[in-house]
Amino acid sequence: MENAFLRDSWNRRLPKQDFLILVKEKFDQSSISNLISILEDICSISNPSPLFIEYFGILVENFLILSLASIDFFYDTQISAYFNLISLYNETLFNNCNIGSKDDAHSALNALRVCLAQSPKQIIPQILMKLIRSSNYLILIASSRLLDRDYWKVVKKIYNDVQPFANYPISYPLLYQSFTHAFIDDFSSHHNFLRAEVDNLTFITNFLHILVINDFFAETFSRHFLIQLLMLFMNTYYRNGEILHGYAIHKLIHKICNKYENIEKDDLKLIVEDIEFTQNSHLMLPFYDDLDKLYNYLFVPRVFFDEEDFLSNFHFSPALCSKLTSMVIERIPTGSHQFFNSLLSDLNVFCCIFADKKVNILLTTLIAHIQTIRSAKYFEIVFNFFCSAFIFCWNLFDFDEIQAFLREQSSDVQILLKTIACLEVEKKGATLPIPIFTRPSGLPLPKIDTTTPFEKCIKFISSVDSMNGEEVYERIQKEPYLIMIALSEGIRHHRKDFIVLTKIKLPEIHPIIHRFRQMLAVILHDTPKWQNFVENLYASFDVMKVYPPSSVSEIEYYLLKDMYFCFRFAHAPTMEVFIISVRWSFWFQIFGVKNMIASIFKLLSKGEFSSPMSQPFLYFCISGICLTVATRRKGINIQIIFALLDLFEEDFEFNEDLIIKFFFIIFISLSEEEKQSLFIHINKLWEAAAKEETNKKRRLFNAISAFFKFVMYTPSMLKYLKDDMYTNFMMTGDCKALIDYFILLGNQKEFSQSI
Full DSSP string of 30-66: HHHHHHHHHHHHHHTSSS--HHHHHHHHHHHHH-GGG
CB 203 within 8 A of CB 728: no
Please count the structural domains in the chain: 4
CA–CA dist 310, 464 (Å, integer): 36
Cα atoms found within 13 Å of the Cα of residue 221, Cβ hemisphere only:
20
In a domain, 199, yes or no: yes
Instruction: Identify whether residues 735 and 616 lie together within a single domain.
Output: yes
Final residue before a domain boundary, out of 481, 516, 544 = 544
Instruction: Identify whether residues 90 and 207 lie together within a single domain.
Output: no
pLDDT at 683: 87
Cis amide prior to 120 (ω within 30 degrees): yes
The burial class, CB within 10 Å (0-12 / 13-18 / 19+), for 649 is: middle
pLDDT at 199: 46
Looking at residue 443, what DSSP letter applies? P
Report the SS3 class of residue 411: helix
158-182 in b/e form (b: 16+ CB < 10 A) is ebeebebbeebeeeeeeebebbebb
CB 623 within 8 A of CB 666: yes
In a domain, 373, yes or no: no
pLDDT at 721: 75
Report the SS3 class of residue 255: helix
pLDDT at 564: 78
Instruction: Identify whether residues 144 and 10 lie together within a single domain.
Output: yes
Instruction: Identify whether residues 11 and 125 lie together within a single domain.
Output: yes
Instruction: Identify whether residues 553 and 699 lie together within a single domain.
Output: yes
Instruction: Identify whether residues 15 and 160 lie together within a single domain.
Output: yes
Q: Which residue numbers in the chain have pLDDT < 70?
A: 187-207, 209-211, 213-221, 280-283, 424-450, 566-572, 606-617, 651-655, 715, 723, 751-755
Report the SS3 class of residue 233: helix
Final residue before a domain boundary, out of 299, 326, 347 = 299
For residue 543, the tally of other CB atoms under 10 A from its CB is 24
Instruction: Identify whether residues 534 and 579 lie together within a single domain.
Output: no
Rounded mean pLDDT of the chain? 83
Instruction: Identify whether residues 622 and 501 lie together within a single domain.
Output: no
In a domain, 217, yes or no: yes
CA-closest candidate to residue 383, choices 424, 337, 448, 346: 337
Report the SS3 class of residue 752: helix
Final residue before a domain boundary, out of 299, 322, 356 = 299
In a domain, 669, yes or no: yes
CA–CA dist 197, 219 (Å, integer): 18
Instruction: Identify whether residues 521 and 600 lie together within a single domain.
Output: no
pLDDT at 454: 94
Instruction: Identify whether residues 133 and 267 lie together within a single domain.
Output: no
For residue 272, the tally of other CB atoms under 10 A from its CB is 15
In a domain, 495, yes or no: yes
CA–CA dist 191, 740 (Å, integer): 10
pLDDT at 429: 37
Instruction: Identify whether residues 580 and 490 lie together within a single domain.
Output: no
Instruction: Identify whether residues 554 and 536 lie together within a single domain.
Output: no
pLDDT at 459: 93
What are residue 507's phi and psi, to 5 degrees? -70, 150
pTM: predicted TM-score of the whole model, two decimal places: 0.75
In a domain, 410, yes or no: no
∠ CA 620-318-235, rounded to 5°: 55
CA–CA dist 494, 520 (Å, integer): 10
Cα 409 to the center of its chain, rounded Å: 36
In a domain, 394, yes or no: no
Q: 173: domain range?
A: 2-183
Q: How far is CA 612 from CA 530, 615, 625, 629, 658, in A?
A: 35, 5, 21, 26, 10
In a domain, 127, yes or no: yes
Q: What would the pLDDT profile of 483-510 be if each residue is shown by its tens digit?
A: 999 999 998 888 999 999 999 999 888 8
Report the SS3 class of residue 274: coil
